[in-house]
Amino acid sequence: MTKLILLIGLPGSGKSTLAQKLIAETPQSLLISTDTIRGQLFGDEAIQGPWLLVWRELERQLQQAARAIAQGQATLAIYDATNAARRQRKEAIALCRETGFTQITGLWFDTPIWLCLSRNRRRQRRVPEEVIFRMSRQLRDAPPALVDGFDRLIRYHLDEFIIVE
């Protein structure tokens, strides 16, 4: 079974922090991050660059991760991106399935916006606040749900994990 955890949440919600902890605790896990991809492609994670280039590299890394898991060289992949818009989530899940992932768990960081904004202000690489507000509206209007294509969905809210049925 090729397993993937797809992270969802606002900038500053804690996605990357938890992903790093999971990778440290389970070294056979693979991390795929759109921020890291942007850094590789454009020399700086803050440079958005053409999405098509990011998407192609994402696809390549997902294929590579699915192969590594199928061959027993890894146990799990974690996809770290905001995935705030339902359309983006569905496209990402479809891509993950196409590249060979058979079990996809969504991990939704339902962090209060005030906390995300506060954390963002303390970051070296800040996301514009209007972008965070836009993503917040996207998540509010179309929150992650099993109908997005997940096999399992977990909501992480104020240090509590809630399984979404």
Q: Where are the domains of the chain?
A: 3-164
What does the pLDDT look like over 113-143, one tens digit per residue? 999 999 999 988 889 999 999 999 999 999 9
Better-scored residue on pLDDT, 160 or 131: 131
Q: What is the pLDDT confidence band of residue 165, given thresholds at 50, 70 and 90?
A: low
The CATH number of 3-164, from 3.20.20.140, 3.40.50.2300, 3.50.50.60, 3.40.50.300, is: 3.40.50.300
Q: In this model, does residue 37 exceed pLDDT 90?
A: yes
Q: What is the mean pLDDT of residues 130-157?
A: 95
- C-alpha–C-alpha distance, residues 127 and 67, integer Å: 33
Give the pLDDT confidence score for residue 73 in this predicted structure.
95
Tokens of 19: 């992903």
pLDDT digits (tens, 9 = 90+) for 43-95: 878 777 888 899 999 999 999 999 999 999 999 999 999 999 999 999 999 99
C-alpha span between 43 and 36 (Å, rounded): 10
